[in-house]
Amino acid sequence: RETWAGKYEFLLSCLGYCVGLGNVWRFPYLCYRNGGGIFLIPYFIMLLVTGLPLFLMELSLGQYGAAGPITVWKCCPLLKGVGVAMLIVSSLVSLYYNVIIAWAFYYLGSSFQSPLPWSCDAPRNADLCQVGGPQAGSVAGSGPGVGCCWARHHMRTGEVVSVGRSFACSRRGGSGLGDPGPVQWPLALCLLAAWILIFLCMLKGIRSSGKVVYFTATFPYLVILILIIRGATLDGSLNGVRFYLSSNWGRLQSAQVWSDAASQIFYSLGIGFGGLLSMASYNKFDNNVIRDTLVIAIGNCCTSFLAGFAIF
């Protein structure tokens, strides 16, 4: 079985596999819901108690078995169904995760338009949009000085929604699963582009993906750094940081906080999906798997902590 061309390719591949929406999107939300920075205590405890052992186990199975998530269970045929379940779960996750990537492509393309389609200056919003502020606060439903754009989406009911939400809803053709509506071709093309990009990255297996990760695994850190610098220049940025690092010790008595911490560790590290096992199967037999476990898992959690500053 072929092996990684360089020692950093595996580390960057696993780090890129782990770092994603769970770090930038879900972790800050859980911090906000569970009392701010105090959530970091159960989060890192769950990392030590559950995350690191399971992470090490999955990497070890792949590295010493030199096989994928299905064939590796020849060592214990009774657990072969675990590998099948990993494959099914990964397949289902890839379906919806690529839809999110398609949304990102669509918004990336739309961001080059002038004016922005989710701003009050856009032609479709000009007649129904007001900028929230001291005068518009009572009309638009926002507090004084909010400074964001709002649109009256339904004039007869007086419902007020953000322009961004109105723009997103306009991309949906139907009302739900029972009424999907017509195909939204811009989004469909973005989804096709996402799958084509993945195909090209995986065209030659680890020979091609191992080179791509030098960009894909490091670029998110540049984006997070830019967001932190931009956020630090905004008014009230210190208030967000204070809340993020606040300590409401009473929250530690809530079972929900510990449950959220455990679920976030599993979700963020990507344990049980088979991806870690597959990538580790291309390691050399004598690779230091304990070192890799510590570097990847701790690096992933530190990324979540850093992303919290960007969001708050």
Binding residues: 16, 19, 23, 268, 300
- CB 163, CB 150: distance < 8 Å: yes
Radius of gyration of the chain (CA): 23
Tokens of 10: 């595996």
| Annotated binding residues for Na(+) | 16, 19, 23, 268, 300
Strands (E), 136-275: 149-154, 159-162
d(CA 98, CA 308): 24
Which of 40-55 are b and which e, b meaning 16 or more Cβ less than 10 Å from the residue's Cβ? bbbbbbbbeebbbebb
The strand order across the sheet containing 159-162 reads 129-131, 149-154, 159-162
- CB 279, CB 287: distance < 8 Å: no
**Secondary structure (H, E, C), 105-147:** HHHHHHCCCCCCCCCCCCCCCCCCEEECCCCCHHHHCCCCCCC
Strands (E), the chain: 129-131, 149-154, 159-162
Please, which residues bridge with residue 149 across strands?
Answer: 131
